[in-house]
Structure 1
């Protein structure tokens, strides 16, 4: 019996959970999600400072300055950025000051050097400035104690800069999931080797590890695991201690030598289903070990494995990382050619995308067999053809799951797959 795609995904998303927060140094926080609000420990700026290279003055001393009647002031000295001396300015005098330097006590404005003769011992000022001009007051940007970053923020370089500036050297974050990818099969050989008769290069392991890293998770892989139950069991147990999630490829169909399925059937809560999708029908998911580590078992055919990762594994890993399960917005495209689709299954058709005067168009990227890698490399995305559609016609509107550089827009938290699964209209 086939189960709907959304049913298999719902079981996965109802099982996985956000990883336990940990404290990490700023240098290792990029891409992580904040576990707590961050408050500023200081004011920004921390002191009144100059926004210009120029002269610190009492604005009243230069109010009447003009090019015809310049005001001359003696220069008390220089204040450079990084000067920690508490200078005090007397009325009728000035300090030469650099951008970012502390404004001396008493001064209430900065005359830009361009409005002067740039004197060193004394200066002629050709234009007055009002009170507060070119002074960055203490706390203008951020006040001490202010919440500057909210829980749930996914940290980018600019967030890390702000956290550092307000006094934090480490943050409490949801850690990046550690994923181990295990490729099984007696026929597999290491990439870079030339296969002999009956041998196949392990492309699934590098592919799934790479697409996991595209999600900003930590991925490692174990390749060439023999189709032997004892070997599979030993490998799984060895990886449990270093993985927040395990992904296997191969060994989950109905074959006589499907060791992964045989082993995992006896462990934890792993359940194997036949999912109403093309490609990717044989799927397995559950938890094993004392920490209930999620295990995703993907088909061995490379296209099936990649489709399965995007449909099921990626949303789960995002949730584990504290992110929305769905982040990439769907693309809407018109079919530029016709193709058949299996009745009762959600088809993930490999398509190439192109723009013309009528908008975005999708055409088949080539052979649609689950083993065909050539068309996969040419694809910009997977067109989602609902289960009740048996043939896509030219001009039909489609939702497209973008891949790689095509996945440019964001709409966090939106379960956009559901519209295709249920066969609803593309436009809302």
Structure 2
């Protein structure tokens, strides 16, 4: 790889991305915890460790439909081995015949005891009779009702689930910071937990700004640009797990922008704006939110970051509640990359999720690429696992600004500030994107 000087970003008056992210994320705190009913906890992050109050299974039970028996009664004095025909494990090739003394279903509750030479017909989930240490599947028998013939000898313990076999009472089920998945909900419910303390899903409001913007359902034309940003970023926030609200389009009207943001602080844990972060004549967001009032600086600081695409980013707070606000560029590609590097980690931090950044891998680059000096570039790419281990990454056509490339990508190729060219065959960093396909 060809590299620039270490101080390239500073010489250009740009803030290194890592420094900028560190300064922003230090100002955020996870949302206060809530005690939620288990049915509402999915998608949130645990705010404290969870310990099992009861064992699971709660009692010895049958794991399959069949016949609960004593293993010594069917194994021929211990000579049987697992999963073999009974006649090959017993003298003379005889099958085993046991008396069926009762039926047990999942709702049975009275304790019963086995006597030598007897068994119970049991359904999966039924409590085991006292003395039973094996359940013979129905398909290994003649399915008799008063007496049953057993053709195969299972291993001792087959078809049996013992108390606490999966989870013991007092066992740590999940640590603080764990994402509440459907499977975790099942484990919590099975061990008797009805409420958990979680970090709530952040409420994220998305606002697109600009006089030129028009809503979807029409094509862009000179003087009009279809608002793709607010729709895309609402979906992106929802993908992270936020409760995302698209406000829509706000014109470049100072009072209208102030009033809109003030109103949204009543229902938002984070506000994301797009557009107006530059220094041009129409960049109203930067002009209004960074304006000094008396001796005080504005509530939002705009920083030129060593990031490509989209160097101009804003962060601060708005309203009496000091709700965090992230200001992203207006170009759709730059807005999506800005969301990935800044807004997404902010949402994860508010939610108490760890890690806050996407997972990354080192991958074998399949095509030589160039990159702007002094900027950290995030380029849409396709990453694939290599046969035998490792990854390959193919940059997608069009560079980082193309929406079609972002839509197709399952990763973002990352080229550091000091990289001006990366040769095919070199090893590079790739962020892995969520893709449900």
Which band: TM-score by shorter chain? 0.7 to 0.9
Q: Provide the residue aligned with 2:394 in structure 1.
A: 362
Q: Distance in 2 between matches of 1:380 and 1:114?
A: 47
Instruction: Render the CA deviation track for 1:194-215: whole Å, top value 9, x for unaligned.
Output: 4454111001111111222222
Point out which structure has higher relative CO (alpha carbons under 8 A, 6+ apart). 2
Q: Provide the residue aligned with 1:14 in structure 2.
A: 26
Answer whether contact 1:268 1:289 (CA < 8 A) is retained: no
Please say if 1:398 is aligned against 2:428. yes
Please say if 1:251 is aligned against 2:276. yes
Q: Provide the residue aligned with 1:201 in structure 2.
A: 226
- The alpha-carbon distance between structure 1 residues 71 and 380, as it changes in their structure 2 partners (threshold 3 A), is closer
Answer whether contact 1:333 1:400 (CA < 8 A) is retained: no
Please say if 1:23 is aligned against 2:54. no
How much has 1:335 moved relative to structure 2?
Answer: 5.4
SS in 1 for 2:435: helix
Match of 2:301 among 257, 268, 271: 271
List structure 1 runs of 4+ shifted beyond 6 angstroms: 127-131, 354-359
How much has 1:374 moved relative to structure 2?
Answer: 4.3
Q: Distance in 1 between matches of 2:176 and 2:423?
A: 46
Please say if 1:345 is aligned against 2:345. no
Q: Provide the residue aligned with 2:51 in structure 1.
A: 39
Please say if 1:98 is aligned against 2:123. yes
Deviating more after overlay: 393-402 vs 65-74: 65-74
Q: Distance in 1 between matches of 2:42 and 2:245?
A: 19
Q: Distance in 1 between matches of 2:432 and 2:96?
A: 65
Q: Distance in 1 between matches of 2:68 and 2:36?
A: 42
How much has 1:217 moved relative to structure 2?
Answer: 1.8
SS in 2 for 1:18: coil
RMSD: 3.0
- The alpha-carbon distance between structure 1 residues 365 and 38, as it changes in their structure 2 partners (threshold 3 A), is same
What runs of 5+ residues in structure 1 fail to find an aligned partner? 409-428
Q: Distance in 2 between matches of 1:105 and 1:30?
A: 39
- The alpha-carbon distance between structure 1 residues 117 and 242, as it changes in their structure 2 partners (threshold 3 A), is same
Q: Provide the residue aligned with 1:420 in structure 2.
A: none
Q: Provide the residue aligned with 1:211 in structure 2.
A: 236
How much has 1:300 moved relative to structure 2?
Answer: 0.8
What runs of 5+ residues in structure 2 fail to find an aligned partner? 1-12, 78-85, 292-296
How much has 1:256 moved relative to structure 2?
Answer: 2.7
How much has 1:82 moved relative to structure 2?
Answer: 2.3
TM-score (norm 1): 0.83
Match of 2:318 among 288, 306, 314: 288
How much has 1:336 moved relative to structure 2?
Answer: 1.2
Aligned length: 404
Deviating more after overlay: 74-83 vs 161-170: 74-83
- The alpha-carbon distance between structure 1 residues 333 and 112, as it changes in their structure 2 partners (threshold 3 A), is closer
SS in 1 for 2:111: coil
Q: Distance in 2 between matches of 1:133 and 1:334?
A: 51
- The alpha-carbon distance between structure 1 residues 286 and 60, as it changes in their structure 2 partners (threshold 3 A), is same
Q: Provide the residue aligned with 2:333 in structure 1.
A: 303
Q: Distance in 2 between matches of 1:16 and 1:326?
A: 15
SS in 2 for 1:3: coil
Answer whether contact 1:331 1:401 (CA < 8 A) is retained: no
TM-score (norm 2): 0.82
Answer whether contact 1:51 1:135 (CA < 8 A) is retained: yes
Match of 2:416 among 365, 379, 386: 386
Q: Provide the residue aligned with 2:190 in structure 1.
A: 165
Match of 1:77 among 102, 105, 111: 102
Please say if 1:329 is aligned against 2:360. yes
Please say if 1:153 is aligned against 2:192. no
Q: Distance in 2 between matches of 1:353 and 1:61?
A: 58
